[in-house]
Every structure is written in structure tokens, then in C-alpha cells.
Chain A
Amino acid sequence: MEDANFIVKFLDWLMTFDRKALILAASAIGAGMAMIAGIGPGIGQGYAAGKGAEAVSINPKASKQATLVMLLGAAVAETSGILALVVSLILLFGNPIVTQEGAVIILVASALGAGISMIAGIGPGIGQGYAAGKGTEATGRRPEYQSNIIRAMFLGQAVAQTTGIYALIISLVLMFANPLVKLL
């Protein structure tokens, strides 16, 4: 009956590889998974860009101010993409998991988990991009309040970033200070 069980077969097959190969393979998947977070900033910045075009069409005289707010807001919205890139690059070039001691299955799962956790970046990316878009629109309407608008936008974006930062912390903990290995 055991031959029919796909999961048992799969695990048996996995165990035919050596320890290092398994961890490296998991890191490869993790590095790819982390970059899924790029969806967020993409949508968010696209929205901001659209709002930028709208703001310029509403008030062509304020196009400089609106563009500045759009660029600043979009730069902040990029943060979660950059954090995902950090995790991805660590997994690829500075992999700390390969040299760690402990059960191979936990290390493999940690490498995967570190990548998957960064998917949370989608949320802050979209949210911050939305804020950037609204800030741009507001600047287009009332360019004289540009500094106040930028301040409110930055504050809100910083708070929206929080979950993405939590994801980064979990990801870094899984890679550098894995508490699960010691529990075994």
C-alpha cells in the first residue's frame, strides 16, 4: 500500500538527495516566492502614476508639484519590493541556512518560509501606492498645500508599512536566528 501514497513516495524521493542540495533547492524556491511581493508595489505605483496623469490634466500649472509628490510616494511604495529583494538576495548570495546545524527538514522549511513570508509585501505595496495616488491627486487640486499633503501621506504610508516590516522580521529570524532548530 505504501507505494500508492504519493506523499510518502515524495518524501522518500526527497531523502535521496543530500542535505546541502535540499537546502539550496528550498532556498531557490524561497527566493522566487519572496519576489511575488512585487505585485504590490507594481499595482500601487501604477495607481499613483495614473493619479499623477489625472492631477496634471486637472491642473497643468501644478504639474511639477504633482510629479514630485507622485515620485516621493511611489519611492516609499517601493519599500516592500526592496525588502523582498533583500530576502531574495540573502537566500541567493549570502545564504546563512546552508551552514546551520539541525534537522534538514526544518531548515528546508525555514528557507521556504522565509520566502513565503515576504508575500505579505503585496498589501503595503498596494496600500502605499493608493496613498501616493491620492496624495498626488490632492496636490493637483491644491498645490499650495503640498508640504502638508506630503507630510500626511508619509505618515500614513509609514503606518501602512508595518505588516511588511513584520514579515521581514519573521523572514530574517527564520534565516539568521532560527528558534525552531533548538526546539528539536
Chain B
Amino acid sequence: MEGGFGPRVIFELPGGIPVTETVTTTWIIMAVLTIFALVATRRFDKVPKGLQNVIELLVDMVYKLTAQTMGEDKKAFAPYIGTMMMYLICANLAGLFGFRPPTADVNTTMALALLTFFMIHFFGMKRKGVGTYLKGFLQPFPVMLPLNIIGELATPISLSFRLFGNIVGGLIIMNLLYGALGGLSTNLGISIPVLQTGIPAVLHLYFDVFAGVLQSFIFAMLTMVFVSGAMD
């Protein structure tokens, strides 16, 4: 528990740039997703079978969700939303496999939230024209300008910290629980980690599976709502 619950530095790049667990775990997730995509999309048949069924279902679901939330005309966002959702779900579930979730690092979540932030304003300007879009900040009264700007700046902050806070909360509680169970079994004189196998499973189910999947879904949904809100 030395140095808090921050990510460990795995190695340093020349020039003294530290590479943390967050980055290496993200590489692993990238590799897994890429290999999965390559294997799954090979040899497509007219009549789907096996893995192709699963993939088609997945893609269909993402497109349907995007069309439902953003409107039929903004269906083109589906690949981005789907990619982000898959990455977030993998990242949040990484805790189950003994990795430190990359989303328990504010750098990851802030980067994703900034992507959303720039998307909101870029597509808002593209759809409405720069002038009309900027005029929107003077609504309903010109006096509201500072408030509107603060509100826009709060979007990425709340978006990133929501994901970060939920995941890091789960991470810390699991760390403390494993520490406590380890201490307990040492005190009871049990050398085999029996206590650490069964008891945390229930909590993993809540903190990693339920909260992780829910927060990925919420992040993607809020991105869709904000972007389509700026465009309409």
C-alpha cells in the first residue's frame, strides 16, 4: 500500500518517460481486441454460423443503440461508440484477470472524455455552422455566456471522474479486502489462501462486473447524448 493506490511504473522509456501499468494493460487489451477482430472477421459466409453470428449480433446491437439514442441520421457514429464501449468493458473487467483496470487512472478517462468534448464541439460546429453554433452560447440571454462556458467545461470533468471514481472505488475496496483476508488467514495460521478464493467473488461480481459494465454503458450513452444534443 506504499505510495497509495496509484498505478505502478513498469519501465522507463529513454528520456525518463515512465510507462505505467495503465499503458501496458491498455496494450494487452488492444492486442486482445485486435486479434479477436482479425479471427472473428475471417471467412464470412452468406449464411452466418458460429462466431459470425455473435459478431453480427454485436454489430447490430451497437448500430441499433446508436440509431435509437442519436437518431437515424447520426448512425455513422456507431463504429466509434462500439469501439469505445468494447475497450471500456475490457478495461473495466481487467480487474477480474488480475490487472489494474486502465480506467482506474484519471489519465485514461480524461483522454476519453476529452475525445467526447472535442467531438461535441467539432460536430456541433460542422452541423450548424461556426457562427450559429457559437451564438448558441448566448442563449437564453447574453449574460449567461460565462455560465454556459463553465457548463461546457464541466462536461469532460464530470464524465471522466464519474468513470474514474467508480472504478477506483471498487479497486481500493478490493485491495483492502484482499489485504484484510490475507492478514486474517496468516493470523489463523492457514497457509493456503482459502479465504481469498471464495469471499471476494461476490464483491468482484458487483464492483467489476455490474459497476464496470454499467459505467461503460453510461459513458457511451452520455457521449451519444451530448454529441447528438450539440448537433440538433
* A contact set with B: CB distance below 8 Å: 75-76, 79, 82-83, 85-86, 89-90, 93-94, 96, 151, 154-155, 158-159, 161-162, 164-166, 168-169, 172, 176-177
Which B residues are in CB contact (< 8 Å) with A154? 214, 217-218, 221
Interface check B118, CB cutoff 8 A: no
Which chain B residue shows the least CB distance to A177? B4
Q: How many A-B contacts are there with CB distance less than 8 Å?
A: 68
Residues of B within 8 A of A (CB): 1, 4-6, 158, 161-162, 164-166, 168-169, 172-173, 175-176, 179-180, 206, 210-211, 214-215, 217-218, 221-222, 225
Assess the B5–A176 pair: CB atoms within 8 A. Answer: yes
Docked-complex contact A162 and B162, CB < 8 angstroms:
yes
Give the nearest-CB partner of B154 in chain A: A162
- Asked, given contacts A86-B173, A94-B1, whether A165 binds B218 with beta carbons under 8 Å apart, the answer is no
Least distance between B217 CB and chain A CB atoms (Å): 7
Considering the complex of A and B, which 4 residue pairs feature the smallest CB-CB distances, nearest first?
A165-B165, A158-B218, A176-B4, A162-B158
Question: Whole-angstrom distance from the CB of B151 to the nearest CB of chain A?
Answer: 12
A94 CA / B174 CA spacing, docked (Å) = 12
- List A contacts of B221 (CB < 8 A): 151, 154-155, 158
Q: Per a CB cutoff under 8 Å, which of A75, A86, A155 touches B172? A: A86
What residues of A have a CB within 8 angstroms of the CB of B211 in the complex?
Answer: 79
Distance of A57 from chain B, by nearest CB (Å): 28
With contact pairs A75-B206, A165-B166 given, residues A90 and B222 touching in the complex (Cβ less than 8 Å): no
Residue ID in chain A nearest B163 by CB atoms: A165
Question: If the complex has contacts A154-B218, A165-B161, A176-B5, are A94 and B176 also in contact, measured as CB distance less than 8 A?
Answer: yes
Measured between beta carbons, the chain A residues less than 8 angstroms from B217 are: 154
A21 CB to closest chain B CB (Å) equals: 21
Q: A75-B210, A82-B169, A155-B222 are in contact. Are A93 and B162 (CB under 8 A)?
A: no
Q: Would A93 and B222 count as touching, CB distance under 8 A?
A: no
Supposing A89-B176, A93-B180 touch, asked if A158 and B4 sit within 8 A by C-beta, the answer is no
Question: Closest CB-CB distance, A93 to chain B, in whole Å?
Answer: 6
In the complex, what distance in Å separates the CA atom of A90 from the CA atom of B5? 10
Bound state CA distance, A98 and B206, in angstroms?
Answer: 31
Min C-beta distance of A160 to chain B, whole Å:
11
Residue of B nearest to A154 (CB): B218
| Residue from B6, B158, B169, B225 within 8 A of A83 (CB atoms) | B169
A168 engages B169 (CB within 8 Å): yes
Q: Are B169 and A93 in contact (CB under 8 A)?
A: no
Nearest CB on B from A152, distance (A): 10
State the Cβ distance, A108 to closest chain B Cβ, in Å. 19
Q: How far is the CA of A77 from the CA of B110 in the complex (A)?
A: 24
5 CB contacts below 8 A, A to B, read A79-B169, A86-B169, A90-B172, A96-B4, A155-B225
Q: What is the bound-complex CA distance between A176 and B1, given in angstroms?
A: 11
A165 touches B214 (CB 8 A): no
- By a CB distance below 8 angstroms, the chain A residues around B161 are 162, 165-166, 169
A82, closest chain B residue (CB): B169
Contact A90–B176 (Cβ < 8 Å)? yes
**Residue in A93, A96, A176 whose beta carbon sits within 8 Å of that of B179 in the complex:** A93
